[in-house]
Amino acid sequence: MKNGICPMCQSNEVYMTDDNNNLGEEGMLMFYGYVDREMGAYASDLYVCLTCGYMALFATPTVLKGKHKELTFLKEARDWKKVV
């Protein structure tokens, strides 16, 4: 979807949230991961196909309190597990 093509119907009518979107209270859909006392914060960009309605969320690390955690941080985070 990030390339503007829907993987379900091949339409190019794909739209995404802007930096100042209205998802959630803080203006973006956020989720967190914790390892001991460290926290990783992640924002989500929402993509929607206007033709078939397929939606996808893509996570991106964000800076919170001066710390930047890559997505691989979730490998060790509490309450996160690999899908098998």
pLDDT tens per residue, range 17-74: 876 554 555 555 677 777 887 777 777 888 999 999 999 988 877 766 656 678 888 8
Helices marked H in 1-84 — which ranges? none
The whole-number pLDDT of residue 12 equals 98
* Structural domain includes residue 42: yes
* Structural domain includes residue 57: yes
pLDDT above 80 (res 9): yes
Which residue segment(s) compose the domain that 24 sits in?
A: 14-75
* Structural domain includes residue 2: no
* Structural domain includes residue 8: no
The whole-number pLDDT of residue 54 equals 97
The whole-number pLDDT of residue 50 equals 97
Count of domains observed in the chain: 1
**3-state class percentages of the chain: helix first, strand second, coil last, to nearest 5:** 5, 40, 55
* Structural domain includes residue 35: yes
- Which of the two residues, 13 and 21, has the higher pLDDT score? 13
Contact 50, 15 (CB under 8 A): yes
- Which of the two residues, 5 and 23, has the higher pLDDT score? 5
Considering the entire predicted model, what is its pTM? Answer: 0.66
* Structural domain includes residue 1: no
* Structural domain includes residue 50: yes
* Structural domain includes residue 53: yes
